[in-house]
Structure 1
Amino acid sequence: MNIIINNQDFILHQSGAVFWEKEKILLISDVHLGKVAHFRKHGIGIPNNAIFENFARLKTVLELFNPTTIVFLGDLFHSKINNEWNLFVQWTKEHSQKIILVEGNHDIISKQNYSDLNIEIFNELEIGNFLLTHHPTEKEDFFNFCGHIHPGIQLRGLGRQFLSLSCFFHKPNQLIFPAFGEFTGNSYLIPTEKDKVYAITKEGIIEVAIN
């Protein structure tokens, strides 16, 4: 789905990524690499091949948009270094894009690990009149791109049926990204009449009517 914010064109992808056309930047939040291996280490029964799902999604969006820069809006790596870090290291060696990390609360491993991969790290990043953060942040004269919350929406069907979907949650001066990663869960938000909700389905992105 294409949307316009501050006279700039952005493409919302059902993976949870956003492509900023003018800047050729791919924006991704809350990948949580390492989470599957972390869960498996603690005895939670997740199939081992789930580790590769995030990399498959990354491959899809990179081939589709061919960005020059990738900006991760925090929580790139979920835990202490485990075997998924080695997969990420190999992934970075196979791609030529500039990579930037806007730090999130789960990004606890040493910054040196990222520096060794030529990944730039920021607490927040300003590009024009856009503010890129992990936590939702309000700053005068800026539109905020952020993650952290893992937004979702619950849609009512006939009777007492509910459909729960991840979504992009668009406030007047903010776009909260869904989690890109597997096994992340959602926080279900209640939109106001000033908000827009772009829900993610298997077929693509749909704008949800706000009653």
Structure 2
Amino acid sequence: MLLISDVHLGKVAHFRKFGAAVPQKAIHKNFILLDEIVHHFQPFQVCFLGDLFHSSLNKEWQLFENWVSKTPSEIVLVAGNHDIIAPEKFEVLDIEIIQELEIDGFLLSHHPMERKGFFNFCGHIHPAVRLHGSGRQRLKLPCFFKKPSQLILPAFGEFTGTFALEPSKMDEVFVLVEDQVVKI
């Protein structure tokens, strides 16, 4: 199973509709990356951990329909707070929408949750961490943010933004740098 969180498809088109100068290329970048990751891992199932789409139906839905038609994996959507497109649209594509999923001691959800006996995989927050260098350099990098019983996945979408989290001594942080995941 491939877990992907916070793609926010349709966000670029949504912002362009209201006059924001967002490059049209950003729309296709998400689909190119989805193709690459599914081809690389060849999962039986792709589970989107919420916020697959950013808002209501727009032109990116047709691109998504095309992507689904050529994707061999079964697709499941754990509903997020931005997933407001009618469930019937997903049903036509054989995509199941659920609120959460419990599998062998793992809890898959959109919002971070704690449940006794479960390790939670989630999204929603778009986690990042701030790094400071000795010469006043500063970086804010998206990350996988691991707590003792939870892993918050970074936003997958190209145009999503991030929220900096402060790790405690119990937390582990894995930043995304170019094409690598690096533990810091």
TM bin (shorter chain): over 0.9
Letter in 2 for 1:113: K
2:154 is equivalent to residue 178 of structure 1: yes
Match of 2:163 in 1: 187
Match of 2:115 in 1: 139
Displacement after TM superposition at 1:50 (Å):
1.1
User: d(CA) in 2 for partners of 1:136 and 1:81?
Assistant: 26
Give the SS at the match of 2:175.
strand
2:93 is equivalent to residue 117 of structure 1: yes
Give the SS at the match of 2:129.
strand
Equivalences for residues 1-211 of structure 1 within 5 A? 25-208=1-184
Aligned residues: 184
Give the SS at the match of 2:16.
helix
Aligned identity (percent) is 54
Displacement after TM superposition at 1:151 (Å):
0.1
Displacement after TM superposition at 1:183 (Å):
1.4
CA-based RMSD of the aligned residues comes to 0.7
Give the SS at the match of 2:62.
helix
User: d(CA) in 1 for partners of 2:178 and 2:72?
Assistant: 30
TM-score normalised according to structure 1 size? 0.86
User: d(CA) in 2 for partners of 1:63 and 1:109?
Assistant: 27
Displacement after TM superposition at 1:159 (Å):
2.6
User: d(CA) in 2 for partners of 1:174 and 1:28?
Assistant: 15
Which 10-residue stretch deviates more, 99-108 or 55-64? 55-64
Displacement after TM superposition at 1:203 (Å):
4.0
Letter in 2 for 1:72: F
Letter in 2 for 1:196: E
Letter in 1 for 2:110: H
User: d(CA) in 1 for partners of 2:99 and 2:36?
Assistant: 28
TM-score normalised according to structure 2 size? 0.98
User: d(CA) in 2 for partners of 1:203 and 1:36?
Assistant: 23
Is the contact between residue 126 and residue 153 of structure 2 (CA under 8 Å) also seen in structure 1? yes
User: d(CA) in 2 for partners of 1:50 and 1:123?
Assistant: 29
Query: Gaps spanning 5+ residues in structure 1: where?
Result: 1-24
Displacement after TM superposition at 1:161 (Å):
1.4
Residue deviations 1:19-49, cap 9 Å, x none? xxxxxx1100000000000010010001112
Give the SS at the match of 1:54.
helix
Displacement after TM superposition at 1:95 (Å):
1.4
